[in-house]
Structure 1
Amino acid sequence: MKIRPFTIEIAQSEIDDLKKRISTWREPDQLQAIGWAQGTEHEELRRLMQHWRTGFDWRKHEAAWNIHPHYQTDIGGETIHFIHARAAVATNRTVILTHG
């Protein structure tokens, strides 16, 4: 198993494409006073889309994420991205956080 350093570098073309798709998002209809009963509450979804449209700074977050030591390896034909960082206080415990 070969472990290789990895740096998060999001292509500007990908960010531009995402912004374009977000800018053309059409708000869904929602029944009055239904809240979260049938998915994301309308106003919360609108607020979230506005944040992604104008408030999220990709380069700022990219830099913050890259403060940590990132690596990749291949396991079972899949590329696995992980951070290897030791705890500030030695606990003799290993913590592995994953997402799917």
Structure 2
Amino acid sequence: MQFCDECGSMMHTEGDTWTCRSCENEESRDSRAEAAMTTQDKQRDDGTPDVADATQSATETMQEPCPAEDCDGDRAYYEMLPKPGGSYEVRLFTCVECSHKWRES
């Protein structure tokens, strides 16, 4: 595992470089350093997580004013998702009128 020297985020391999997806910093890969990295038992790479989309299978809407400046919509699809590693859920909204997406704060 490699962390970005610029912002501290975890870096990902892309060909012969380590790339930071947060600040786009790139560093050359070092095969000797990578050989020294160890993997813990049961550790795995599940790939990029799915992006939640509150309109995918939502049929229910609720009254929730759209925060988009150019929209007067007052109904939104919603989806409840568990917060990663947390003990509570987050509610995601998608405006019925303009498809603007936001989360409950």
User: Shorter chain as normaliser: what TM range?
Assistant: under 0.3
Instruction: Please give the TM-score of this superposition, normalised by the length of structure 1.
Output: 0.23
Q: Considering fraction of residues, name the structure with more helix.
A: 1
Q: Counting strand residues as a fraction of each chain, which structure ranks higher?
A: 2
